[in-house]
Chain A
Amino acid sequence: MLILTCPCCGIAADETELSPGGEAHLTRHGPGSGDTDFEDYLFNRENARGVHFERWRHAHGCGKWFLAARDTVTMQVFGTYPAQTTEPPQEIRDRITKARPGWRWRDFGAAE
């Protein structure tokens, strides 16, 4: 069972109170973008075995979207943070590095 603390209302919500929203930190490539960028934006997703960043919505609660960092294998939660964040906060990256030295996810990862 996955329990994520919603940063908008502070409730420690059970997975079944939340709606999954797929991968976090996508860059939208819309009209005028190249085919490759648009394809990446539309179709290509990480399928992480380990550290992953996701969007969730507190559907059976305050109704707000937020972001979460967790490990898809162990279900360890590294933290949740506001949806209005374009990349993982340093504090959360530090926490991941402590638990998973050498982690990498898209352009983010532990310092070499």
Chain B
Amino acid sequence: MSEIIAPLNGAAFDGLLRVDALGPQGQITLRGDFAAPAFRDVVTEVAGTAFPEARRVEAAGDRALLWMSPDELMLLLPYEAATTTAADLAQRLSGEHALAVDVSDARAHFRLRGAPLRDVLAKITPADVSPAALPEGELRRTRLAQIAAAVWLTGPQEARLFCFRSVAQYAFDLLSTAAAPGSEVGYFDGR
């Protein structure tokens, strides 16, 4: 089998934030009727988490269930488990109007860490990144400069960010520029 190479293969940047390009990440796109008990049961059982409310993320261990839209979820799980889990999901949802597809190689994932997290994000997205509008545990799909991306606030000074693989380098360069030393804003400090 071929060797799996993650987008940017572990690139990292140290500035106002620590930016880490993460390793291979299993990702399964799920579409279905959120009101259908059968869909909810299968998905939550496989994910091992609760079913997320609108815009929220439910995480447990190395798996997370992300609310992407009123009929779309993303399941994050270990890369090695993605193919079999997607097949298992598809089989168990076969009677439902639902879809489960392994898209593990589609997106690049980054971890952002540092106190000026919200200030750095505010430079490159039109999204309201105040704690009131983007609390911990919430996923915001938005635009980072010229590309589509999603930001999941995993902690007070930590976020998971992902975008399409084809624009991974753009995202990394953009984040590194926005987090360049000496470019502090200080707006969200202490908020």
Contacts and interface: CB of A to CB of B under 8 A. Distances in A.
Interface string A3-20: 000001111101011000
A14 B122 CA distance: 13
Please tell me the size bucket of the interface on A: 10 to 19
Given A9-B69, A12-B128, A14-B127, A60 B55 contact: no
Given A14-B126, A62-B68, A64-B69, A9 B55 contact: yes
Q: Determine chain A's interface SS by DSSP, over half rule.
A: loop
Interface string B113-138: 00000000000001110000100000
B55 A10 contact: yes
Interface of A: 8-12, 14, 16-17, 59-64
B26 to A, nearest CB: 22
Interface of B: 54-55, 68-70, 72, 126-128, 133, 140-143, 148
A34 B133 CA distance: 50
Contacts of B126: 14, 16-17
B55 A17 contact: no
A60 B141 contact: yes
Contacts of A62: 68-70, 72, 141
A12 B133 contact: yes
Given A14-B126, A14-B127, A16-B126, A8 B141 contact: no
B140 A11 contact: yes
A9 B70 contact: yes
A63 B69 contact: yes
B80 to A, nearest CB: 29
B143 A17 contact: yes
B148 A60 contact: yes
Contacts of A64: 69-70
Interface centre among B54, B68, B70, B141 (most CB of A within 10 A): B141
A61 B54 contact: no
Given A8-B69, A62-B141, A63-B72, 20 more contacts: A9-B69, A9-B70, A11-B127, A11-B140, A12-B128, A12-B133, A14-B127, A14-B143, A16-B126, A17-B126, A17-B127, A17-B142, A59-B148, A60-B142, A60-B148, A61-B69, A61-B141, A61-B142, A64-B69, A64-B70
